[in-house]
Amino acid sequence: MNEIRPIEPALTTLDALASVEKKLVWLASWMIHNANHIRPNRDGLKVGGHQASCASAASIMTALYFEILRPYDRVAVKPHAGPVLHAINYLFGRQSVEQMAGLRQMGGAQAYPSRAKDGPEIDFSTGSVGLGVALTSFASLMQDYVRAHGFVDSASPRARHVAIAGDAELDEGNIYEALLEGWKHDVRDVWWVVDYNRQSLDSVMPDRLFGRFEGLFRDMGWKVVSLKYGKRLEAAFARPGGSSLRGWVDDCPNSIYSALTFQGGAAWRQAILADMGKSRGVRAIIDPLSDAELASLMSNLAGHDMAALTEAFRAATKTDQPTCFLAYTIKGMGLPFAGHKDNHAGMMTVEQMDAFRAQLNIRPGHEWDKWEGLAQPKAVERFVAGVPFAENLTPRGRRLDAPAIPVPASLPQPKITGRRMSTQGGFGEILSEIGRAQGESAALSKRIVTMSPDVAVSTNLGPWINRRGVFDRHTRDDVFRDGKLASAQRWGTSPSGQHIELGIAEQNLFLLLGAAGLSHDLLGARVLPIGTVYDPFVNRGHDALFYACYQDARFLLVGTPSGITLAPEGGQHQSTNTPSLAIVQDRLASFEPAYCDELAILLRHAFDWMQRPEGSAVWLRLSTQILPQKERALNAAHVIAGAHWVVPPAPGSRIAIAYQGAVAAEAEQAFEDLREDEPGAGLLAITSPDRLYAGWRAAQRARRLGNAASSHIETLLAPLARNAAIVTVLDGHPAAHAWLGAVRGQRVMALGPDHFGQSGDITDLYREYEIDASAILDACAEALL
């Protein structure tokens, strides 16, 4: 039973919650209405918004935020209920009228909840359906990780990670990938509350699928709580004849239920009587009811019944088992288009909104007033002031603080010079050295957490994992090791391990990187997440990567091996688009070193950059190409800024070769030949077209604002003649370099595979795709003609 917390003699918790819910539906509807019908519209474009989706989730959100959740809990709200979340924060005094009135406008509240743009009240951004839901599971895994490692006070209460999900989100495959992974890691403290309105964007969903969800979740170790009928309907079903009425509603197809909800009481009566008019019990239930009362009874689903919701949620707080609530709701509940199949983007007309306002006793001109129209405004205000979720909010809102982990001036590293190594091999060795670090690097080493979707060994994480162990809440032995069966790899798990092994699902990698990369904000514990993946399969998880960057998560992504240099293993495994992808991805600084001395500089930079407020996530594209490692002095700042001259050009030189990554040796060989004819030629090592481009754009912007500025690439290319040729080469699509010609108006001949999918050895492939030394020389000759 519900505890009834008296607020005033005449106001119970349930009454207060009902009042709050009304306010939320009103404010969300008004926010959208204001944006579409009241605010001046400069260009006549539709502004949009989802009043029906908001109304559908309002009861669930009221019960959670105003009764069940605690301040440390974390919530992902389905994208289309963003206005309800803004309204909730408004009632808590954490959102302004200006922001709400500016919904979907520059500087106003975002269309969908956004950590980066809406500020510290938003726990998780949402928008790409399915991802926000799954993220809660990975955030919960990270909570277990930081607690197991003692990064937060273990006496502090554990947060519950809650997703308020649209039912169509359950169509997204990433949900099931996350469920499987969550089961493996025995995740806990996760709730997914499904707003089960049986409608998506296009239409009412077919019925067949829905019986499956319960089984699916249960198989994955979840508790499933089906919240189907509200208290009034249950009471009606308990009366004589009620079981036939229940059977009838149970069997009513989604589309008919929705249509009847839209049509109202008279249609309900006609449909029920047509099927059960001879049942005296049924007639005794429905005959005394007016049409309005009958409509209200028949739409009394548990997802809109505050008593049913709070009771079920409260019961579920007794366990940490992940729990899925299937809360039956009506899309557009209480609004004129409730249940209509076309209501997803439907909006109330001005007349309908006027009628809604009158129904809620809201005076014109007082639409934004918090407690306007309520019978007991003061009592509701006092109730809201005492809501546990809103306790102790700081000026940083729901963001926590975690100091940066100091990064030593140089990282421990193996001997590199004089050896033949690939950047992938170098990465594994450097990380392994960090793994056994003493002294000032030990603190850094402790905070690193690696993760990989079944490619830990083949991306050279093996030595690190052997040193630092595999994480699991439960200690599990390594059967091979215990049986003394020879293996290079230790796979025993323990709560102190620092590698999280994932199944082969790249979206999960990026969701976990996203969650780990927000640990400082969400959990108050700084970790340095490193994820490794085959570079081509970044594409497989790209939406989740994009999503992690959108949330400003901080992590290091290592894409390796990459490009056609993978050679015999080529085909689908060759990545050619990733250098371009890396340039265009916001909040992700990307680099591709050719040699391990550059890699060491970039790894150190990554640990620093991902912790800086102005920093970002980092992507290193590495290779299996083995190169002789040279003894040389490097300008670290240049490596980080994106390029350095290996051989600077003579002033006024008319040609340079610029290479990136694995093709360094081919470029060097071509350069030696070129120099015989062109002694002033330059050789440029590009470590990041992304950083070069970003720097160039920033300098352009600064100059437009009247400030003197020169970017790194402008400075580097300045010694070359105005009409010089630059032959560029990388193991990736040449578009990543083609823009370099625009910097100073020089002529760029960009080489790189623009096709892929052929197996072969490096010699054959580099020839076929025209990135070998002779192709580079041919391009130089053509450029000099």
Ligand X SMILES: Cc1ncc(C[n+]2csc(CCOP(=O)(O)OP(=O)(O)O)c2C)c(N)n1
Task: Report what 169 binds from Mg ion, ligand X, none; CB cut-off 5-8 Å by kind.
Answer: ligand X
Asked if 449 and 529 touch (Cβ cutoff 8 Å), the reply is: yes
DSSP letter at 398? T
Residues 153-182 binding Mg ion (CB under 5 A) are 166-167
What is the spatial distance between Cα 501 and Cα 494, in angstroms, rounded to a whole number? 12
Determine if 177 is a binding residue for ligand X (CB under 6 A): no
CB of 54 to Mg ion, least distance (A): 12
Task: Report what 341 binds from Mg ion, ligand X, none; CB cut-off 5-8 Å by kind.
Answer: none
Q: Which of 73, 167, 472, 506 binds ligand X (CB under 6 A)?
A: 167
506-516 vs 542-550: helix crossing angle, rounded to 10? 10
Determine if 169 is a binding residue for ligand X (CB under 6 A): yes
Nearer to ligand X, 191 or 491 (CB): 191
Nearer to ligand X, 197 or 746 (CB): 197
Judged by CB under 6 A, the stretch of 73-81, 453-461, 527-535, 562-570 that binds ligand X is: 73-81
Q: What is the 3-state secondary structure (H, E, C) of 558-613?
A: EECCCCHHHHHHCHHHCCCCHHHHHHHCCCEEEECCCCHHHHHHHHHHHHHHCCCC
**Neighbouring residues of 504: CB distance < 8 A, sequence distance ≥ 6:** 453, 454, 455
Q: Which of 201, 256, 350, 385 binds ligand X (CB under 6 A)?
A: 201
Tokens matching residue 671: 């350069």
Instruction: Dihedral sign for Cα 282, 284, 285, 287, please.
Output: positive
**Neighbouring residues of 574: CB distance < 8 A, sequence distance ≥ 6:** 536, 563, 564, 566, 753, 756, 757
Judged by CB under 6 A, the stretch of 5-13, 77-85, 421-429, 599-607 that binds ligand X is: 77-85
Tokens matching residue 680: 């002033």
DSSP E strands in 260-390: the ranges are 323-328
CB of 224 to ligand X, least distance (A): 18
What is the spatial distance between Cα 280 and Cα 277, in angstroms, rounded to a whole number? 8
Read off the amino acid at residue 111. Answer: A
Determine if 129 is a binding residue for ligand X (CB under 6 A): yes
Q: Which of 34, 59, 199, 254 binds Mg ion (CB under 5 A)?
A: 199
Task: Report what 174 binds from ligand X, Mg ion, none; CB cut-off 5-8 Å by kind.
Answer: none
Judged by CB under 6 A, the stretch of 2-10, 49-57, 465-473, 554-562 that binds ligand X is: 49-57
Task: Report what 310 binds from ligand X, Mg ion, none; CB cut-off 5-8 Å by kind.
Answer: none
Residues 267-296 binding ligand X (CB under 6 A) are none
CB of 331 to ligand X, least distance (A): 5
Task: Report what 304 binds from Mg ion, ligand X, none; CB cut-off 5-8 Å by kind.
Answer: none
CB of 568 to Mg ion, least distance (A): 48
The binding track of 328-367 with respect to ligand X, each residue x by CB under 6 A or -, is ---x------------x-----------------------
DSSP letter at 68? I
Instruction: Dihedral sign for Cα 514, 515, 516, 517, please.
Output: positive
Count of residues engaged in binding Mg ion, rule: CB under 5 A: 4
What is the spatial distance between Cα 284 and Cα 431, in angstroms, rounded to a whole number? 75
Determine if 197 is a binding residue for Mg ion (CB under 5 A): yes
Count of residues engaged in binding ligand X, rule: CB under 6 A: 19
Judged by CB under 6 A, the stretch of 12-20, 161-169, 368-376, 706-714 that binds ligand X is: 161-169
Determine if 53 is a binding residue for ligand X (CB under 6 A): yes
**Neighbouring residues of 235: CB distance < 8 A, sequence distance ≥ 6:** none
Distances (CA, A) of 674 to 649, 668, 677, 720: 12, 10, 6, 16
Determine if 682 is a binding residue for ligand X (CB under 6 A): no
Distances (CA, A) of 186 to 140, 315, 321, 343: 10, 21, 9, 39
The binding track of 499-518 with respect to ligand X, each residue x by CB under 6 A or -, is --------------------
Cβ–Cβ contacts within 10 Å for residue 584, how many? 10
Determine if 346 is a binding residue for Mg ion (CB under 5 A): no
Nearer to Mg ion, 194 or 271 (CB): 194
Determine if 199 is a binding residue for ligand X (CB under 6 A): yes
Provide the binding-site residues for ligand X, judged by CB under 6 A: 50, 53, 56, 78-80, 128-129, 166-169, 195, 197, 199-201, 331, 344
Provide the binding-site residues for Mg ion, judged by CB under 5 A: 166-167, 197, 199
